[in-house]
Amino acid sequence: MGEDAKLNKEGSTAMFPRSAEEPKNSHWTRGVYYRALAIVGVLIINLIFIGVAARFSTRHTDNGSFSSTALVYRGSCTLVNRWETALSLMINILSEVALGASNFAMQTLVAPTRDEVDQSHAQHKWLDIGSTSLRNLFAIPKTRLALWFVLIITATPFHLIYNSIVFKSIPANFYDVILGPSDLNPPDIGSLSTPNLQNCLGRYPYDYPWSAEYRWDDFVSDLESDNYKTLNNDECTEYTNKNTQAGSMRGGNKSVFIGSTVGGGPWTGQYYIKDGQISAISSAHVSVSPFIYFNVSGHDETILYTLYDFEASTCIDNVDLSKKEANSTCTKAEDLVNWFKEEWPSKKRLDQYMDVNATSRITIDTYGTSCNKYSYESSHAVTDGCIVVETDKICELMYSPYISVAISLTLLVKVVAISIAALLGRSRQMPLLTVGDAISSFMADPDSTTEGMCWASHQDFSREVWKSRQVAWVSRSSTESHRQGESRIWKRLQSPKRWMHASRTSRWLMALVTFAIIFIAGAVLLGEGVKGEEAVLVGDGISKAASSAIRRLLKNGFDSENYTLVTFGAGGNGPEWGMLSYTVLANTPQLAITLTYLWYNHILTNMLAMAEWTSYGVNRKSLRVSSPAKNSGQRPTHYLSLPLRYSLPLLAFSALLHWFISQSFFYVYAIPWADTHRVEEFVLSELGYLWLPMLLAVFLGAGMLLVLVSLSFRKYKSFMPVVGSCSAAISAACHPPQDENTENAARGLLMWGETAGLLDCEYSADQFEEGKGHCSFTSLATIPPNLEKLYA
């Protein structure tokens, strides 16, 4: 390379002459300051939220002095849901504002100056202009590199934890099941009242202290006041499955009355209900049955048995009767127990049985003469349906002081870093932030390393055509005539390319692979949700079960109480982690969405930049630059990458997508309630997901991808080479004719085309053979290029 290609401060600063009419604090640095102010605004809002939340949390004495979570409000689930939705949307908007401002500052930090571009070109390397870039990190000073890393690191909390700064609890409450005869008439329930029912139905001294106290009088009052709904077997099954998750009972404080075709009862306990059959799995509450205890009397003492602790051999050994009489009495008692377990008779049938088969030495306690404090073994009864008594649910709105402080400190660091970046910008050489900046610079001071390559696209430099040309040039004789004859590579222009060619194939592959991974993960979770619902409905047939499952999942909507538990491994529950660990895991998809957005934004930016670039081959117009020169026709740009008509919808859709993801995959804090008491022993932390918001997220993401792919098939307007963000390809298009006023040309109207005047540097028009030409940006007259001519 000749001496004229070496860098010097004078030549490099000539791209934007700084005169008295052009202030040192240029337009672009004000944009950086404005972004810092935007983050200050986000910080202020965040601090106001912390102050208000802390003030409300002091009203609740069960909050600790400083813990990972704090209670803000306890009460109506409707009110909690509204506040949580509103705050989540606000948080997503604030996050987009903070990250957008940070991305703007990061792009200005990696935007190269003309000196840095020239240094890279001298080594046959090119830099990115007008888009985000990792390539440029290797060409910028360490101070800017350090600030860039600070901003990228401080972006991580916004992806992983900011969405969980506020969250709500899921009511996970215990409910009672009362089994009774199928012919029970709710309005006449009061006629069944007996002293034993009033004494035994409800909390018993042997129950847990948190057990719900639902007494017979309360039950009668609820039914007589119409505070219930009647469900058939299918609805009953759906109801109980909906309200049971991971061993807890979800929903409000409910009592379910099951109508049994067998008769008997009523009794209470915990039950598993499926396919019209109720199975008692335990009885934590008092039970009342037509036959709970029976007595076997000897000569001097009486032994008390239950249906489940009686054994004939033990009875024979313990009862004080003769061997023969003991065998006869205990055998009859065994027959009674077996018959009762098979038939579960009504009181009338039990009395008839006792009259015919029992002896005077066997007596029973009927309808709760004794209240059973023991647990039932497994038992079953066929059901007709159920009557549901539903009370108000209790929800809690929580916030995390840890996350609040972490986000505030992160915002403060961002403000400092961006302010320093703006200060550095005032003292450093004007960066090439946009393609217009680069054109203006290369027009004022053409880059000799790309001379004679006006046909070059970014793909040509990626294929190292530039490097091979330069090596050949340097290795030849340095005589004037030899350079004139050997240094140019003549090529024809290509027909207009499609928008997809603005980005390299590798970037398209990375974007599409990332999209595919996210879509596959979403489809798997959607399928698991349908399969989980099908398992309940598969008796109806697979196709009917699938359609019913989808309808039920859609009906669940955005109601987080109807979440599906995320399992780990072969159907097991997740590990017992803390709130912050679950939060990070729940927000991991946000990080993946952000990565996909960056690829999306980069590709769309390049396509739109090239759409404007190729328009210069059709129409003469002024440059769009970051800092317009005074008294010039240059147009200011309020964006570095995307025009507002694209960036605003993209920002809105991105925020909506992040919100859908936050609503579809989230941290679950389930609090069991018994009456109005929290059951701390069973508070549950886990991960859950909702089907509908995940489906909407998949549809929205697919729609955004479809828009991008559709745009990529559009054709550019002219024969101009597609340069992408490649600095060398931009430079190759900026070698104006010799009679061009290079100092002021970029300030007016420009057009790209075949030049009619003398060529710059050593090459003159008479050295071109017929059928050859040169194309460049110029303010002079141009000739429309054609595909049959050779250009260099």
**What pLDDT, on a 0 to 100 scale, did the predictor assign at position 713?**
93
Q: What is the pTM of this model?
A: 0.70
Around Cβ 380, how many Cβ atoms within 10 Å?
A: 14
Q: What is the DSSP letter of 372?
A: B
Place of tokens 């009794």: 267
Q: State the first-to-last Cα distance of the chain, in angstroms, to the nearest integer.
A: 18
**What pLDDT, on a 0 to 100 scale, did the predictor assign at position 45?**
95
**Sites in the chain below the pLDDT cut of 50:** 1-25, 203-208, 244-255, 260-290, 367-370, 372-380, 470-486, 534-542, 569-575, 758-767
What is the SS3 assignment for 730?
helix
**What pLDDT, on a 0 to 100 scale, did the predictor assign at position 484?**
41
Place of tokens 């710059």: 760
**What pLDDT, on a 0 to 100 scale, did the predictor assign at position 294?**
81
Q: Are 355 and 333 in contact (CB under 8 A)?
A: no
**What pLDDT, on a 0 to 100 scale, did the predictor assign at position 415?**
96
Among residues 660, 398, 687, the alpha carbon closest in space to that of 563 is found at 687
**Structure confidence by residue, pLDDT tens digits, 128-182:** 998 878 889 998 999 999 999 999 999 989 888 888 889 888 876 666 666 666 6
Alpha carbons 96 and 244: distance in angstroms, whole number: 37
Q: Are 726 and 703 in contact (CB under 8 A)?
A: no
- CA torsion, ordered 314, 315, 321, 326, to nearest 10 deg: -100
- Strands 624-625 and 635-636: what pairing? parallel
**Structure confidence by residue, pLDDT tens digits, 286-324:** 333 445 568 888 888 888 887 777 889 989 988 989 989
Residue type, 20: A
H helix or E strand, kind and range, residue 743: helix 742-745
